[in-house]
Structure 1
Amino acid sequence: MREYKIRGTNYKIRYNDFYGELTPIIFIHGLGCAGSFDYVEVASFLGVNHRIILIDLLGAGYSDKPLSFKYTVDLHVKYLKEFIEDLNLEEIIIFGHSLGGAIAIELCDLLSNRIKTLILSESNLDPSSYGSASFEIANINENDFDKSFEKKIAEYEESGNTMWVAALRNWLPKAAFEMSVNAVSGGEISWRNILYQFNFPKYFIFGEKSLPDADFEKLQEHGVIIEVVPNAGHSMAWENPEDFAKVIKRCL
């Protein structure tokens, strides 16, 4: 694992960097997840000669968890843009899952001249709504936040979502809360509308168990290529990493 110091701060993000001669693929994880937790097995199944970079966002996984940082999509995008510039990555493929997809979309908007392909897996495109994890975390009682957050984690664990809970426990609660609030409010410019405007190849991956979904047809109408991972739902990196890797490979 390597680390990168964010410009103008003492904060460090940490990332896995697997050698490859072809275009680097940068993986951006979703809420409660981590690149180092989600995508190592997927990377091992890819079987391609691309450089693969798995990032733990600030506040998550093995990266620093400063209390003074404001955990919003745009500020994650800011340091990731600098990270890509400082690594001298001239052409890149961006992958983003769930709320990490919103980060990926805004990052592609800032670095459009460097983007070869955008791959999204069940990305946030619109403000989060009732029933989603981000909506639930965004509505945790701030007056008793620590206890309320721990109670919510216990509920997720009791429901059987133990893999996600394992990763979520390594998040700074403030980071999970502020990212969730941003998910509920949506982007300053609609993530969906930004996606539709991109001219480079753009893919959207569904887990088979997440279908039917209205976006299956809607996205195709706007030039987004749809792929489906069999025997998996939203957490496809854990549920079926081998077939997930095969689908990603088709997008490259």
Structure 2
Amino acid sequence: MKEYIVDNENNKMRYHDLPGKDTPILFIHGLGCAGSFDYPEVAAQTDLIEHRRILIDLLGSGFSDKPDDYLYTIKEHANYLYNFVQDLKLDKFIIFAHSLGGPIALELADKCRDNIETIILSEANLDKSSEGSSSYEFGNYQEDDFVNGIFDEVVNENSSVNSMWSSTLSVCSSTAISRISKSAVVGEEPSWREILYSLQCKKTFIFGEKSLPDDDQIELERHMINIEIVKSAGHSMAWENPKGLAEAIKKGISYAREL
């Protein structure tokens, strides 16, 4: 694992950088997750093995630092990732992002449009969080209440019904989870959906088969966004079918390279 100093406070983001000669893929994880936890098996699949694969743990998650005084907004995450890809000298790269990692990916792509070969999103948030989502629920609590009790309750409640997410959520900063959730509830202007539609590169959106039907599939296709389906999986497709997710990512890359 490697580390990258994010700011003048010496806060460090940690990441895996797996070698490959083909275009680098930057993996951005979702709420309460971590690249080091979610994506090693996906990245190891034959379909992606020729690519350089960069698996990050966002600040506040996984093995990265968790400062309590950090803002943890979607825009702040995108800002340090922009510096990160510049310092890695990624002249051309692919972004893959899942769930609430999607808005971060889109803010990043908006800042470096000329460097993006393609962007591939899996069940990503395109609009501000709405009722029924975890980020909406978390973001509507007072931060002190969430940090000092509700966070632990959520971890415990999910320990049996969603043990994978519970395990990775448990090592996140409760402050970071609260603040990025509030950021997701507030949203941005232009919206993340508008940014996606405005990107000039080819784009792919991935659904888990168990998440369908989804009204957004038709809307995305109407905007010339390629759709891929991961069989035998729902929202947590990296855990449920890592081989299928790798295949879908590869199809997204191949779609972008079609003449």
- TM-score category by the smaller chain? over 0.9
Q: How far off its partner does 1:144 sit?
A: 3.1
1:16-55 correspondence runs (5 A): 16-45=16-45, 46-55=47-56
* Residues 129, 246 of structure 1: alpha-carbon distance in 2 compared, 3 angstrom cutoff: same
Once residues 186 and 107 of structure 1 are traced to their aligned partners in structure 2, the CA distance between those partners, rounded to angstroms, is: 15
Q: How many residues align?
A: 251
For structure 2, list consecutive stretches of 5 or more residues without a partner in the other structure. 254-259
Q: C-alpha displacement at 1:242, in angstroms?
A: 1.0
Taking the aligned partners of 1:242 and 1:97, their CA distance within structure 2 comes to 16
Q: Does 2:182 match 1:191?
A: no
Alpha-carbon contact 1:12-1:58 (below 8 Å) kept: yes
- Aligned twin of 2:172: 171
SS in 1 for 2:213: coil
Of the structure 1 ranges 47-56 and 208-217, higher mean CA displacement relative to structure 2 is found in 47-56
Q: Deviations over 1:187-235 (max 9, x none)?
A: 2320001100111010000000000101111001111110000000000
Report if aligned partners of 2:143, 2:178 keep a CA contact under 8 Å in 1.
no
> Normalising by structure 1, what TM-score?
0.97
Instruction: Report sequence identity in percent.
Output: 52
Q: CA RMSD in A?
A: 1.1
Q: In structure 2, how many angstroms separate the alpha carbons of the residues matched to 1:179 and 1:205? A: 23
Helix, strand or coil at the partner of 2:197: helix
Could you tell me whether the CA contact under 8 Å between 1:33 and 1:60 is conserved in 2? yes
Distance 1:199 1:144, change over 3 A: closer
Q: How does 1:152-167 map to 2 (within 5 A)?
A: 152-158=154-160, 160-167=161-168
Cα distance between partner residues in 2 of 1:143 and 1:16: 33
Q: CA deviation at 1:141?
A: 4.3
Gaps of 5+ in 1: none
The C-alpha deviation readout for 1:93-134, integer Å capped at 9, x for no partner, is 011100101100110000001000000000000111111111
**TM-score, normalized by length of structure 2?**
0.94
Cα offset, 1:155, TM superposition: 2.0
Deviation at 1:175, TM superposition (A): 0.3
Matched residues in 2 for 1:220 and 1:75: separation?
A: 30
